[in-house]
Amino acid sequence: MKTEVRRTSIRGSSIRTKANLTGWLFISLAVIMIVIFYFYPMLQALLLSFKSGTGMNLDYVGIDNYKRLFSDKTFTTALTNTFIYLIVQVPVMIILALFLSVLLNSRQLKFRGFFRTAIFLPAVTSLVAYSVIFKYLFATDGMINKLFMSIQLIQTPIEWITDPFWAKVTIIIAITWRWTGYNMIFYLSALQNIDQSIYEAARIDGASATRQFFGITIPLLKPIILFTSITSTIGTLQLFDEVVNITQGGPGNATLSISHYIYNLSFKYTSDFGYAATVSYSIVVIIIILAFLQFKLAGDKK
Amino acid sequence: MNKLKTTGTYIFLILAAFISIFPFLWMLISATNTSADVTKGKLIPGSYFFDNISNLFSSIDIGTALLNSAKVSITTTLLSLVIASLAGYGFEIYRSKAKDVVFSILLLSMMIPFAAIMIPLFQMFAKLSSVAPAIGIDTLSGVILPTVVTAFLIFFFRQSTKMFPKELLEAGRIDGLSELGLFIRVYAPTMKTTYAAAGIITFMASWNNYLWPLIVLQSPENQTIPMLISQLGSSYSPDYGMIMTAIVISTIPTALVFFFMQKHFVAGMTGSVK
Amino acid sequence: MKKLLTILLASFMLLTACSSNSDKSTNTSNEGTNGGSTGKKQEITVWAWDKAFNIAAMETAKGIYAQKNADVTINVIENAQDDIIQKLNAGLNSGTTKTLPNIVLIEDYRAQSFLQAYPDSFFALDEFINAADFADYKIGPTSFEGKQYGVPFDSGVAGLYVRTDYLQEAGYTVDDLQDVTWDEYIEIGKAIKEKTGKDMLTQDPNDLGLIRMMIQSAGAWYLQEDGKTPFIANNAALEDAFNTYKNIMDANIVKVISDWSQFVGAFNSGDVASIPTGNWITASVKAEAEQSGKWAIVPFPTLANTASSVHASNLGGSSWYVMNVDGKEAAADFLKETFGSNVDFYQTLVTEIGAIGTLKAAAQGEAYTAPDEFFNGQTTIADLASWTEQIPNVNYGMHTYAVEDILVVEMQNFMNGTELETVLNNAQTQAETQIR
């Protein structure tokens, strides 16, 4: 007995150093690939952002590109648009997804499977495919206007694509349609992990459904809400496929996103990769600030 | 009061379900109609589906695009499941301070928007083209390589590994399994649902990827499905019935993958979000 | 262990399967270039857009050339114009020529941007074609530093397509629209709207093609003569065009659309009474056979307050370019024998596709003077060809679309009541920061 124990402990310590090495081997491939395909290009983009010129003729221009960024109205427009999407769309979607997941988590509810599948369904479509569908549905003489007019909701067709305000609304509706179900699945999974006895105890104490929701559900889901809001924020800041395929950034840049602007600078106008890289670095800065804020906000309430 | 609430719940859910399904219905119905009927706003299934299919296959090379997308998505999914699960397992089971630091640095890559690195990535693959044309610009490997490993998936596997009963590993060690053997024989079979969920996420993301293939692929014979759909959608004289048919076909693989693995998907998610 | 190895192995095999595809394509292109020297098949790849027009013209050229040159295979690939721009930019920046075509179609507005940004990537054609054989206004965009790079293709000569039946219903004849100013056009538009309920024209707020046509009719452009300096503020023609555009929009005679298919759909379904646009629209107009005899083409209206404005302008129009890659001589020879000199070929283009070229000699041919029954026997091609000669020559420069994206925004502001001077000054400042 005693020798057994001693032997394992010796083996144990040698294992620990060996295990540490084995651990590095396990993660090495992933680390190498992330460095090659994310961090190295980041560094390159930084170098590129100090150059400017057309096509292949790039020269070092110092911080000229960054000065240009601040006087570039198209950039400001793209930035503002992206923030409008962010401020309106992300909260609406997260609240909607939370609400739906709480409803669908109720054991008394009939057809749960059907509702869950139906609401998740949009998440299986490709971004390009659903964008093309939305472009047609929301055309001025498209299905949505026809439908709304036939039920007397509106008298004249809404210019979903060609009016600056409605075009933004269309983009927001589209993203919300595509991603609400996806986020809902995360919440639903998390809800199923909550011990039902907590709710029963609360009910015995006389807490209302609303109290239960804010007192138990929200705090318990906090990590996952934080996670989904960060991924959604990142997703919205990277918005490209929808804008390109539904509105092409128009009318008059009213729906232009930052990614779309970077694409335009690189591939639509006389291409200037240097300045495009400068614009793209601005998103990195914004994302880092936002992620920091989101963590901070979530952390303070703890 | 309670009844009223239940009715309200159902009405809300039915409405939400309707809004979610309506574009699909419209797409399916439109795929069975002529272009003219689609423009007129016909909402009844027609009998034009097979004509649309034959138009589609005769006028554009959707077969090649489907095959390309399949090659890309399947390869990406397999590779990324192996690499990300190895890493997630490594970070959690062989936890150390240094690895935790590396992990949080890796997580930072989630913050990098693709638009920010697409140009350097493109230049990198362009340079690669002159050395190794088989994996450079305008190859499917060029599409696959940068998308294989994401910090999200590593994070996902690490989170799920937290729920993994570590006693199983001890038992395996006593049975004389090597460290890699433990991973393959003990860990992987236990984590089937996690693999399923991760597989679904990766497959869908890869099947639907648009921006990177758009930049890196050039020749029409390398086109993927989203590129083809985008091109159809912006053509000069769009045949709506045909476009909708193309979209239906392009959605079938992701829908199938999801429906067959739905149970595992939810279970896998549950494991990761605890 | 085995399982993992199998999966990894399988994945790598798939990965190689994915790359083998491209191997094949490199091989074929190599074969193509080797073939030239060994007398085997030479392959020429062409990129173009619009199946009914550019692609159709290229296919016709291919047929003609194949009769004499059986050893050359011409491979025409259809891409959306935006995709061609993106692929060219990406391909040229990547430094590998592997993915580039031999011949590419580029819109005249964008040509200078490519020629100047990638000077060594295009093949000069001075030894193959004679620039003086083509309409003068096509030479500016297609040449650079004294060398001719493009084979000028279609004339983008603009015309005003009008529905004669709607005009009649409102108490007008086609003559009332001959050689009018935009102000007169608006008045007739209002009358038609009142009598028939039909809009006069469609407009896509994202596309300022109408403005481009208006200012070119006055010999002005978004940029100065040098093709680089923005010329927006104090540009009298542009001011007049902006005011005219606003008057048109405010007159409640416009059907707003958001893309090409809605544009075509609007006139095919009889929703609008006129189309001010380039002649390449003819095929789409004639596609609706039921409307035969109901259309006429009249000269483009002039800007009322700009003396230099003439009844001729241009919209779009493109030219063929040869990339400086293997097979360039063969590609140039192909263009020389077809688009570069073949008068008969241009007759076929007119009769079969309705494409009007810019080769001067072609205008003498029979097909150019034939009446068109769809347009009530009007000799439309002859009319358009004669207007082509009057199109003012402007330098489109490098930044047409970059400036236009700025103007689209400022146009919205102008429509919402901002002063014209402020709007154009803002646009000028923005263009100056954006264009380097």
pLDDT class of C399 with cuts at 50, 70, 90: confident
Task: Assess whether A171 and A287 both reside in one domain.
Answer: yes
Residue A54 domain flag: no
CB C134 within 8 A of CB C152: yes
C353: pLDDT strictly greater than 90 = no
**For residue range B159-178, what is the model confidence (pLDDT) as tens digits?**
888 888 888 888 888 888 88
Query: Where are chain B's structural domains?
Result: 62-224+251-273
Taking the C-alpha atoms of residue B234 and residue C83, their distance in angstroms, rounded to an integer, is: 10
Taking the C-alpha atoms of residue B260 and residue B196, their distance in angstroms, rounded to an integer, is: 10
| Predicted local confidence at residue A273, as pLDDT | 84
**For residue range A289-301, what is the model confidence (pLDDT) as tens digits?**
877 777 777 655 4
| Predicted local confidence at residue A298, as pLDDT | 64
A26: pLDDT strictly greater than 80 = yes
A25: pLDDT strictly greater than 70 = yes
Q: What is the percent of chain B with per-residue pLDDT over 90, rounded to a whole number?
A: 24
| Predicted local confidence at residue C28, as pLDDT | 38
Task: Assess whether A145 and A198 both reside in one domain.
Answer: yes
Domain that holds residue A42: 2-48
pLDDT class of C24 with cuts at 50, 70, 90: very low
Instruction: Report strand pairing: C201-203 vs C158-163.
Output: unpaired
Instruction: Report strand pairing: C254-256 vs C201-203.
Output: parallel
CA distance A56 to chain C (A): 6
Task: Assess whether A262 and A137 both reside in one domain.
Answer: yes
On whether the pTM is more than 0.90, the answer is no
pLDDT class of C235 with cuts at 50, 70, 90: very high
Task: Assess whether A44 and A84 both reside in one domain.
Answer: no
**For residue range B9-66, what is the model confidence (pLDDT) as tens digits?**
889 999 999 999 999 888 899 888 888 788 777 788 888 888 888 888 887 888 999 9
C27: pLDDT strictly greater than 80 = no
**For residue range C377-392, what is the model confidence (pLDDT) as tens digits?**
999 999 998 898 889 9
Task: Assess whether A161 and A236 both reside in one domain.
Answer: yes
Q: Which of A50, A77, A76, A74 is nearest to A64 (CA)?
A: A50
For the record, the structure tokens of C221 come out as 């452009």
Per DSSP, C40 falls in state S
**For residue range A213-272, what is the model confidence (pLDDT) as tens digits?**
888 888 888 888 888 888 888 888 888 889 988 888 878 788 999 989 988 888 887 778
Task: Give the number of domains in chain A.
Answer: 2
Q: What is the percent of chain A with per-residue pLDDT over 70, rounded to a whole number?
A: 91
Query: Which value does ipTM take for this structure?
Result: 0.87
Amino acid making up residue A70: F
Q: What is the percent of chain C with per-residue pLDDT over 70, rounded to a whole number?
A: 90
CA distance C88 to chain B (A): 9
Residue A64 domain flag: no
* CATH topology assigned to domain C42-155+316-365: D-Maltodextrin-Binding Protein; domain 2 (3.40.190)
* Mean pLDDT within C290-311: 93
CB A279 within 8 A of CB A69: yes
Task: Assess whether A77 and A40 both reside in one domain.
Answer: no
Q: Looking at chain C from residue 90 to 109, which residues have their Cβ under 8 Å from any Cβ of chain B? A: 90-91, 93-96, 98-99
Task: Assess whether A28 and A78 both reside in one domain.
Answer: no
Residue A167 domain flag: yes
Burial of B257 (0-12, 13-18, 19+ CB in 10 A): buried
Domain C158-313+393-434 indexed as CATH 3.30.230.10:
no
What is the average pLDDT value for chain C, to the nearest integer?
A: 86
**For residue range C81-132, what is the model confidence (pLDDT) as tens digits?**
888 888 888 888 777 677 789 999 999 999 998 898 888 899 999 999 998 8
A302: pLDDT strictly greater than 60 = no
Kind and range of the H or E run holding C341: none
pLDDT class of C283 with cuts at 50, 70, 90: confident
State how far Cα A89 lies from the chain centre. Answer: 10
Task: Assess whether A87 and A209 both reside in one domain.
Answer: yes
For the record, the structure tokens of B259 come out as 């429906």
Task: Assess whether A19 and A102 both reside in one domain.
Answer: no
Residue A61 domain flag: no
A207: pLDDT strictly greater than 70 = yes
Kind and range of the H or E run holding C283: helix C282-286
Residue A67 domain flag: no
**For residue range A51-60, what is the model confidence (pLDDT) as tens digits?**
887 766 778 8
- Residue to mutate among C94, C104, C285, C353, with most B CBs inside 10 A, is C94
Query: Where are chain C's structural domains?
Result: 42-155+316-365, 158-313+393-434
| Predicted local confidence at residue C251, as pLDDT | 93
CATH of residue A176? 1.10.3720.10
pLDDT class of C8 with cuts at 50, 70, 90: low
Q: Which of B99, B230, B250 sits opposite A245 (nearest CB)?
A: B230
Residue A58 domain flag: no
Chain B residues within an 8 Å CB radius of C259: 234
- Tell me how crowded residue C31 is: count the other CB atoms within 10 A of its CB: 14
Q: Looking at chain A from residue 275 to 294, which residues have their Cβ under 8 Å from any Cβ of chain B? A: 276-277, 280-281, 283-284, 287-288, 291
Task: Assess whether A120 and A19 both reside in one domain.
Answer: no
| Predicted local confidence at residue B77, as pLDDT | 95
* Mean pLDDT within C291-319: 93
Chain A neighbours (≥3 Cβ pairs under 8 A) are: B, C
Residue A53 domain flag: no
Taking the C-alpha atoms of residue C70 and residue C293, their distance in angstroms, rounded to an integer, is: 43
**Cα three-residue angle B201-B203-B209, rounded to 5 degrees:** 100
* Mean pLDDT within A182-187: 88
What is the average pLDDT value for chain B, to the nearest integer?
A: 86
In this structure, which CATH number among 1.20.1280.50, 1.10.3720.10, 1.10.240.10, 3.40.50.150 belongs to the domain B62-224+251-273?
A: 1.10.3720.10
| Predicted local confidence at residue A9, as pLDDT | 47
- Cβ neighbours of residue C426 under 8 Å, at least 6 residues apart? A73, C410, C413
* Mean pLDDT within A159-168: 89
* Mean pLDDT within C63-77: 88
Same fold, C42-155+316-365 and C158-313+393-434: yes
